[in-house]
Every structure is written in C-alpha cells, then in structure tokens.
Amino acid sequence: LSLVVLLMLGAFSCKKDGNSSSNSSVTTDQVADIAAGSLAANSEGFASVTDDIAVNAQGISSTSKVTINSNGLTTSSVHQECGTTLTDSVTRSLTIDSVTLNYFFKYSHTLNCNTSNQPDNVANALTFHGSFDGPRLSSNDSGSATVTIAGLTQNATNFVVNGEYKRDGSFQLKIGNKASGNSHVDLTVANVKLSKPGRKIVSGTGTIAVNGTGPKGGTFSYSGVIVFNGDGTATLTISDAVYTVNLASGYCLKHK
C-alpha cells in the first residue's frame, strides 16, 4: 500500500509540474508559455513580425507602398526600386485581450527582383525592444530577426517566409510556482505561407530553442518543433509534451 501511494504521488507531481531541467524550477509548461509569447501577435511575437513584413511586401508589389504607423496602415505614392534598401519603424503601445504591450521595431527591407525586373522577394532585418504584461506571463525583452518574404509576383498565391527570430529578456510567470528569470528564445522557420491578400498564416514549420536561468540561478534548456496549422493556431511539441498555441492571444493549451 505504501508503495502504491508513493507511485500515485509521483504521477500527480509529474502531471502538475511538467518536465524541468536540473537545478531549475522552470517546467515544460512554463517554457511553453515563454515560447507562446515569442509566437503570438498580442505579445509582438513572430506572428506580428510576419504581418508587418507582409504589409510591406503588399505595398511593394502594388502600385503604391503601404506602410505601418501606430494608428494602423497608411498608403503613400513611394515605390521601392529593385536592389534598394529602405528602413522604417513601428511603435505600438496598447492594451488588448487583457495584455498590455509597449514595443518599438526598426525594419530594413531590401528588395530583390527576378530576371524580368519584377519584385520577387524582400530580405528583412529587424531589431526590437519592449515589454508586455499578460494573464500568464510578463516580459521585458529585446531581439532581432532576419527573415525573407517571397511570393511578391502577381501569379503567386501565397507569401512565403523563411528565416530566424531571436528574443532575449527577463520574465515573470504567473502560473505554477510563478518562476522568474531570464530567457533566450531562438526560432527558425521554414516555408511559412501567408495568404494573399489576407496575410493569415496557412502552413509552415519551425524549430525553437528556449534556455535561460530560473529561480536561485538554476538553468533550463529545452528545444521543440512547431507546426503552423492554418486555423490561427500552431502545434508546439517540447520533449514529450504537446501544446496548441493561439497565434493571436498566445493562449497555450496542453494536450492530455
């Protein structure tokens, strides 16, 4: 009977806390929330970046350039020439879906054309810094990305994004043991397709690495894979745990 009780206690502990690296109290479930923050639009994650560069790509491939400002989209008569690099910036400060965010992005867009001198793809380099405060996680961070968006020709049915997104900063979790610490997120994506003209993520894959320091100086290191489902969510697999991440809100649901 004692042995049975001990086994049951161990099972309940695993179910509640998830898997954590040695010397750290940051669990797999909490790392999934950190990863979700780097993906979701309302924490200015990868989904927000893809939308920004897709808006720019739409402007380049049309008769006028569409740019972004803090109030939304504006259209001007400026049109980028083949082989040139233009820069712009985006500042967002707002509260949406119980999340308060303040971010600044600086973009560099280099237009590459095909042999017919038509826009083909844009190589984007960006840096950012800011903070967000949500129901499950708050973070102060900075980062960078190098992402190329193709599919600018008129006969292309989707934009296609490839590249790498990195995010570093301090975090405060509001779930479980409410761990705090510092994290580094490295996301690499392959053939992420966005609908034209709606700019919705319809498919693609990625790999993600999340590491850092947790409470009392303990370290953690996790890696996982991401599949973009085309319905506004992504499936995130870390170790043997599987989660569904809402790419708009960042809500992370663990599969049983």
Strand ranges inside 114-200, DSSP E: 119-133, 137-150, 158-173, 180-195
The residue-averaged pLDDT of 229-238 equals: 98
In terms of DSSP bridges, do strands 201-213 and 252-254 run parallel, antiparallel, or are they unpaired?
Answer: unpaired
Query: What are the percentages of helix, strand and coil residues in the chain, rounded to 5?
Result: 20, 55, 25
pLDDT tier, 57 (very low <50, low <70, confident <90, very high otherwise) = very high
pLDDT tier, 45 (very low <50, low <70, confident <90, very high otherwise) = very high
- Is 85's pLDDT higher than 90? yes
Give pLDDT, residue 72: 52
- Is 50's pLDDT higher than 50? yes
How far does Cα 14 stand from its chain's mean position?
Answer: 28
Give pLDDT, residue 40: 96
Give pLDDT, residue 25: 72
Q: Quick one: 158 exposed, middle or buried, by C-beta within 10 A (0-12, 13-18, 19+)?
A: middle
Rounded to the nearest integer, the mean pLDDT of the chain is 86
Whole-structure pTM value: 0.84
- Per-residue pLDDT of 168-191, as tens digits, reads 999 999 988 889 999 999 999 999
Give pLDDT, residue 168: 97
pLDDT tier, 79 (very low <50, low <70, confident <90, very high otherwise) = confident
